[in-house]
A and B are shown apart, each in its own frame.
Chain A
Amino acid sequence: MQSKPSTANEPIHVKERFSKIYSEYIDSIFRYCLLKVSDRDIAIDLAHDVFTKYWDSLIQGMIVSHDKAFLFTIARNRIIDWYRRKKPVSLDALQEQEEWSEGLLPGSDNAKGALEMDTESRFLISKIRELSATAQQVLYLRYIEDLKPKEISDILHIKESAVSVRIHRGLNELRKVTGYEIR
């Protein structure tokens, strides 16, 4: 996502835009945070932080070309910060081990407000949780949040081609663990 300064940012227009973006993406951001931290209240606080940071960026005069990808980038960084504060280990180690992606999908016992799902969905979710953190991450962003590979590459700070490769490998992994014919 390309962030550029705007020439003139009338606060009133910025607020209108902020309100529109909030209505459009609050559920996605909340869901992403909830699946990462497995705690509804914490997820709401993180979503709040994401949108305050987004507001700060807008009033600083940035033009965000892909709002959704930008919001997910902020959310990802906020979640990393949250894990960093929570666990006394280095951020590098966290990123290397991708521990911060724990609780990516619901089903963990500590997830307040867990969803009611049918047996098949629950089985599938449990299988998805068996995938590598990298595969879970890209498959989630691609198929649940409907983000394009370019937007995912902006969020994860990797090349678009690497995103496509990860999606492809993720689907292969999913095929293996579920036995489903996925095209």
Chain B
Amino acid sequence: MNHKNIQKAVESLRKIVLTQQEKKALYARLEKYVDSHREAMPIVSPFYSDTVTVPYMRMYKVFLSCAALSMIAIIVLGSTTVIASANTLPGDVLYPVKVRVSEPLMLLLAMTSESHQRIQISQIEERLREVETLARENRLAPTTVAMAKALVGDEVIDLRDKLSRKSWEDLRGRLSARSGIFEYMGDRSFE
């Protein structure tokens, strides 16, 4: 507002002030209030509203947020990796996740000995399926065969001691269907 009359009016309005005496009197009143209220400094609750947050509460909130985000990231990345590893074959990047993380985890989560044995059998069949697939694709390396033999052999021996005669015969019948690959692997542990 640059008009000279307006400037004049603004200056006039700005002249509305307290006299020095009034200022002193008012400050004396305020000083009384200040002196009677300075001791009663309240302790700010850490649960004070969002607009008035104590610094350490803010740090705590940041820490909690980071922890929550990390947990979410771990869960999402972990579960994605486990799911992605389900159809991998020996030699694939995620194959170790399948045989060292997700399959042992499934065994751990088995509630009964029967379900534990069922999972063991399905894992043996999975190893054989992998070897068959690799053999079909001409990707079967001697190291893969050795690893599959070790895994299958251990599982079969473990199961032979645990299964009832009927279940063992049933398993043998299912494994016989894949005798070709067993012969290829030179494994007789199921017999």
Q: Are A22 and B30 in contact (CB under 8 A)?
A: yes
A34-B5 contact, Cβ under 8 Å, with A5-B48, A26-B23, A60-B42? no
> Which residue on chain B has the smallest CB distance to residue A105?
B13
Q: In angstroms, how far is the closest chain B Cβ from the Cβ of A152?
A: 15
Give bound CA distance, A48 to B12, whole Å: 24
Instruction: Classify chain A: how many residues form its interface, as a range.
Output: 35 or more
0/1 interface trace, chain B 63-94, chain A, CB 8 Å (1 if under):
00000000000000000000000000000000
Please report which residues of chain A, range 14-55, place their CB below 8 angstroms from some CB of chain B when the two chains form the complex: 14-15, 18-19, 22, 26-27, 30-31, 34-35, 44, 47-48, 51-52, 55
Which of A3, A14, A52, A144 is in CB contact (< 8 Å) with B13? A144
Q: Does B54 contact A (CB under 8 A)?
A: yes
Q: Does B106 contact A (CB under 8 A)?
A: no
Which of A61, A118, A178, A183 is in CB contact (< 8 Å) with B8? A118
Q: In angstroms, how far is the closest chain B Cβ from the Cβ of A44?
A: 6
Contacts of B2 in A (CB 8 A): 182-183
Q: Does A88 contact B (CB under 8 A)?
A: no
Give bound CA distance, A19 to B37, whole Å: 15
Q: Does A134 contact B (CB under 8 A)?
A: no
> Which of A78-86, A90-98, A120-128, A154-162 lies on the face that meets chain B?
A120-128
Q: In angstroms, how far is the closest chain A Cβ from the Cβ of B97?
A: 47
Contacts of B6 in A (CB 8 A): 124, 143, 174, 180, 182
Which of B41, B52, B55 is in CB contact (< 8 Å) with A59? B41
Q: Are B42 and A26 in contact (CB under 8 A)?
A: no
Contacts of A182 in B (CB 8 A): 1-3, 6
Q: In angstroms, how far is the closest chain B Cβ from the Cβ of A107?
A: 11
Q: Are A44 and B22 in contact (CB under 8 A)?
A: yes
Give bound CA distance, A6 to B17, whole Å: 32
Q: Are A59 and B38 in contact (CB under 8 A)?
A: yes
Q: Does A9 contact B (CB under 8 A)?
A: yes
Q: In angstroms, how far is the closest chain A Cβ from the Cβ of B26?
A: 6
Give bound CA distance, A48 to B5, whole Å: 33
Most chain B beta carbons < 10 A, residue from A5, A19, A44, A55: A5
Contacts of B33 in A (CB 8 A): 52, 55
Q: Does A62 contact B (CB under 8 A)?
A: yes
Q: Does B34 contact A (CB under 8 A)?
A: yes
Contacts of B55 in A (CB 8 A): 5, 7
Give bound CA distance, A182 to B2, whole Å: 6
> Which residue on chain A has the smallest CB distance to residue B3?
A180
A55-B26 contact, Cβ under 8 Å, with A62-B52, A106-B16, A171-B1? no
Q: Does B60 contact A (CB under 8 A)?
A: no
Q: Does A181 contact B (CB under 8 A)?
A: yes
Q: Does A102 contact B (CB under 8 A)?
A: no
Contacts of A125 in B (CB 8 A): 9, 12-13
15 pairs from A and B in contact (CB 8 Å cutoff): A5-B55, A7-B55, A26-B18, A27-B16, A30-B17, A31-B17, A44-B18, A55-B34, A61-B42, A115-B15, A120-B8, A120-B9, A124-B6, A174-B1, A180-B3
Contacts from B to A (Cβ < 8 Å): 1-3, 5-6, 8-10, 12-18, 22-23, 26-27, 29-30, 33-34, 37-38, 40-42, 44, 48, 51-55
